[in-house]
Amino acid sequence: MIISTSGLTRRFGSITAIDGLTLKVEAGTVGLVGANGAGKSTLIKILLGLLPASSGAASVLGHDVKADGIAIRRRVGYMPEHDCLPPDVTATEFVVHMARMSGLPFSVARERTADTLRHVGLYEERYRAMGGYSTGMKQRVKLAQALVHDPELVLLDEPTNGLDPAGRDEMLELIARIDSEFGISVLVTSHLLGELERVCDSVVLIDGGKLMRHTMTADVTGATGIVALEVDGDNAPLAALLTSRGVAAVAVGRTLEVQVAEEQQFDIVRDAVVELSLGLVRLERRRHHMTELFVPTEGDAHVDAS
Amino acid sequence: MSTPADHREGAHHGGGAVVGDGGAIHDIGYRRYDGERLGPLSIERALFVEGLRGAFGLGRTTKAKIVPFLLLAALLLPTVIITLVRVLTGDLLPVTYAAYLHSTQVLIAIFVASQAPALVSRDLRHRVVSLYFSRPITRTGYVRAKFAAMASATFLLMCAPLVSLFAGALIAELSFREEFPEFLIGIAAAALIALLLAGISLAIASCTPRRGIGVAAIIAVLLVLAVVEQFVDAIGNETGHDALEEWSSVLSPFSLVRSIAHHLLRGDTLSIAAAPSTATGLGYLAAWAGFIALTVGFLVLRYRKVSVS
């Protein structure tokens, strides 16, 4: 278990940012999803031992956040949501310095900086002052400084914020590798539910500082009984033929949604397509999306489903 | 993953060995680190060294080196001239170490004003503090390292002309026995001034993320203090209020330390007429300690409130 909280509460005056949160997170990649102001950043600050809880307890990597903040911060990396890079130094100089501030000896800091910047995909640019970097490059440096000391857990606060769709995909790919290739557990926050299901083993949804749901991604996005079928021609006769043979098929635009219960029914689908002399364009098993699960049940949770 | 950088590294390490088609033989993937990790005190020391070097522009851009080294040259030049006059004309010139620091105070003030904001405002402005405080360094440790760096840099800057002056005195064959104690008093005064200025300048700089405002504010405070001190001193002199005249130097860091040097260290400051008094000296020392406690206490409280995100 990398993170565990019980009845964790944090109030700021009359506002309750975290409200009786009880959570157990196993090693791997966990997504923390909630709208802006849902309490994500407050939770991260508590987990880093930087903000005392009003009540309740929390531990990270087996260390109590109240008593052992330094021990936690030795073994955890943190990537803030906001900009935190001085513009007048190069990425290499900056990450070396940050590695030393995490306790690495100088020669190790230099070696690991070179490695880490390469892993996050920064090459020639690392010798240039960071003031001229694009948002995508800045996000990579921010990630590198969180990884350079080889932590056991990284806390990534909205790492895809401000990135264009391509940059977003690259960042998500990188995050997936942190756990699978580097062996470092990840807690990643987002206000977008859709993007996290691709990289996370489990997703925690919070709203108003309360835990709404904690779900294993595999359970949610598992296979459904629906197969998407696309042919290069009119699909109405095919739908009729399939239905007459006991396989329910509904046209949704150019796609037929076919209810497949048993393996043999795939043969019926194939034979029907051949009989009508249609070209088979796509035959794909539909997966659930996280958004289907959360949005109808948590209609009042202001989560941008995308 | 084959990238230009990998190719280059591969070629470099491979030393011309046959590498097959790709050439990317050195992508060994992610490496874990289970070696030594230094504790908070060593991290503080690393931050201190970085700050000390940074105050002289070392490890920063070329532009950042101009001001500190220009000031260093400006502080050293008169000592070279003094030495030349002493050696060539035999005129011994009434210059003492403690007095030299007082008369060059504008240069020292400019150094402090230009470097203190570079040490702390920058971290606040670009929110680098959130990266520091999410690491195994405490907020007090951060303040300690920055304070030590600023004080040490200012101390070293002041030591340079004192050493030059002392070496010059020996070349001019002044009495070592007379010069050496005065030199040591000068060094002690430099240390006292450095600590006081570090506290004042960092306290001001930590209030603004804007570097320019920090520079202007520190210069203004130090200059205004010096002017007010002279004003109060003059009033005391004119009206015959000896106490006013005597204690006016509390108002300016440089005069305060000069008074400590005169009353407590019994150094020759060339300017204070009153007979040295240990009691007065201790009073000044208490004021000095009070200012440091005030400014450092302020810094510690200030950084307790700095938000991480």
| d(C-alpha A211, C-alpha B15), whole Å | 57
Give pLDDT, residue B24.
52
What is the token pair recorded at B294? 């005030």
Q: Is the pLDDT of residue B67 over 70?
A: yes
The CB-side HSE value for A15 (13 A sphere, CA atoms) comes to: 8
pTM reported for the whole predicted model: 0.82
Give the lowest-confidence range in B23-32, B131-140, B193-202: B23-32
- Measured CA to CA in angstroms, residue A184 lies from A24, A28, B131 at distances of 17, 8, 19
Nearest chain A Cα to B62, which residue? A88
Per-residue pLDDT of chain A (306 residues; tens, 9 = 90+): 899 999 999 999 999 999 999 999 999 999 999 888 889 999 999 999 989 999 999 999 999 999 999 999 999 999 999 999 999 899 999 999 999 999 999 999 999 999 999 999 999 999 999 999 999 999 999 999 999 999 999 999 999 999 999 999 999 999 999 999 999 999 999 988 777 878 899 999 998 889 988 888 766 665 567 888 888 888 888 988 988 988 888 888 888 888 887 778 888 888 999 998 888 888 877 766 656 555 444 444 444 444
Contacts of residue B292, defined as CB under 8 A and 6 or more positions apart, other chains included, come to B195, B196, B199
Please, are residues A100 and A110 in contact by the beta-carbon 8 Å criterion? no
What's the pLDDT score for residue A16? 93
Q: Tell me if B263 sits within 8 A of B192, measured CB to CB.
A: no
What pLDDT is recorded for position B263? 92
Q: How far off is chain A from B309, nearest CA to CA, in Å? A: 7
Q: What is the pLDDT of residue A219?
A: 67
A286: exposed, middle or buried (C-beta count within 10 Å: 0-12, 13-18, 19+)? middle
Rounded distance between C-alpha atoms, residue A110 and residue A97, angstroms: 9
Interface of B with A (CB under 8 A): 3-6, 29-33, 35-40, 42-43, 46-47, 50, 59-61, 122-123, 126-128, 130-138, 308-309
Candidates A47, A48, A100, A170: best to mutate against B (most CBs of B within 10 A) is: A100
Using the predicted structure, report yes or no on whether residue B170 has a pLDDT greater than 60. Answer: yes
Q: What is the ipTM of this complex?
A: 0.83
Cβ contact B127:A83 at 8 Å:
yes
State the pLDDT confidence band at B199, using cuts at 50, 70 and 90: very high
Contacts of A48 in chain B (CB under 8 A): 134, 308
Which candidate from B30, B131, B308 shows the least CB-CB separation from A50?
B308
* Least confident among A1-15, B109-123, B157-171, B238-252: B238-252
Among A48-52, B4-8, B43-47, B104-108, whose mean pLDDT is lowest? B4-8
Three-state DSSP at A205 gives strand
* pLDDT at residue number A25: 93
Distances in Å between the Cα of B272 and the Cα atoms of A145, A278, B188 are 55, 108, 18
- Give the 3-state secondary structure of residue A303: coil
Distance from CA of A85 to the nearest CA of B (A): 6
Measured distance CA(B41)–CA(A235) in Å, rounded:
72
Kindly list the residues from chain A whose CB atom is less than 8 angstroms away from the CB atom of residue B36.
105, 108
Check B131 against A97: CB less than 8 A apart.
no
Task: List, in sequence order, every residue forming a beta bridge with A284; answer none if it has no partner.
Answer: A228
Sign of the torsion formed by the C-alpha atoms of A234, A238, A243 and A249: negative
Instruction: Please tell me what DSSP assigns to residue A81.
Output: S
Q: How many CB pairs under 8 A join A and B?
A: 107
Cβ separation A70–B59 shorter than 8 A: no
